[in-house]
Amino acid sequence: MSSGQQLRDRQSRRDGAYDAAPPRGRASQRPSRASWLTPKRLLVVGLSVAVVAALGVFTVNTMRENAETPATPLTLNELTRMSDPFAADPEADALKAVAAQAQRAHDIKAARTKSAPDWDRVKIVKQAPGGGGFNPQAFPPGSKPNPGSNKALGQKMAAARGWSGEWGCLEKLWDRESHWNERAMNRSSGAYGIPQALPGSKMASAGGDWQVNAATQIEWGLGYIAARYKSPCGAWAHSQSVGWY
């Protein structure tokens, strides 16, 4: 082949390369921003934003209304059906353990320094706590707790359960827990009442007047002891061991 022919072949190949379509690169496969924002897609995005905003407003309004609406007390039957009032409650037990630890820490500090003021695990509240569908409740005007009468009532109610021989254990247990005061609340855990129910609203299974009535609290407490520890001495032994029952 002559040099002239070779030159013409090379020129022909270059011309063919120029005429061919450019290879498809990454840029050619990606749609432009202008082509992606079609009117239909803009409409969908706008509607989505509006729905999310509306749901946010609805949630905030609902939360505010729930906070401002007074709680409606549940009936005794409703509360009884909801759960077993004496069932094991790991969360409540953990709170009791923390409260017992706080008491032990204070006792150790008091013994070491011999100058720390006496610290009572319970405080006597001026208003009964709410919870479980119950609003906080004021105590009857002029009324005062009577731990002595509560203790006498507790002894009688325990004897009715066949626990006359275990009265000493029950007396010491609730002396430690609440001083037999129906308005006692644990400073650390928030347990309430003579048996120190946690939360106090559990006692509603024994009566809707659990916030103010010592007899209702004692009735619930005896049922709790029977279900969890079989007897007052079983509950007292557990309390002696770990600081709570």
pLDDT at residue number 81: 44
In a domain, 73, yes or no: no
- Would you say residue 205 lies in a domain? yes
Q: Is residue 26 part of a domain?
A: no
Residue 37 counted as domain residue: no
Mean pLDDT of successive 10-residue stretches along the chain, which has 245 residues: 54 51 49 56 53 43 41 50 76 92 84 72 95 93 95 98 98 97 96 97 96 98 97 98 95
**Rounded Cα distance, 191 and 185, in Å:** 6
Which range of residues forms the domain containing residue 101? 85-128+145-242
**42 within domain boundaries:** no
- Asked if the bond preceding 199 is cis, omega within 30° of 0, the reply is yes
Total domains in the chain come to 1
Residue 63 lies in a domain: no
The pLDDT of residue 88:
85
Check residue 116 and give its pLDDT.
58
Residue 77 in domain: no
Inter-residue contact 152 to 180 (CB < 8 Å): no
Query: Is the torsion defined by CA of 130, 149, 126, 141 positive or negative?
Result: positive
What pLDDT score was predicted for residue 114?
72
Residue at 69 is within a domain:
no
Handedness of CA 225, 230, 233, 239 (dihedral sign): negative
46 residue type, one letter: G
Given this model, what pLDDT does residue 30 score? 52
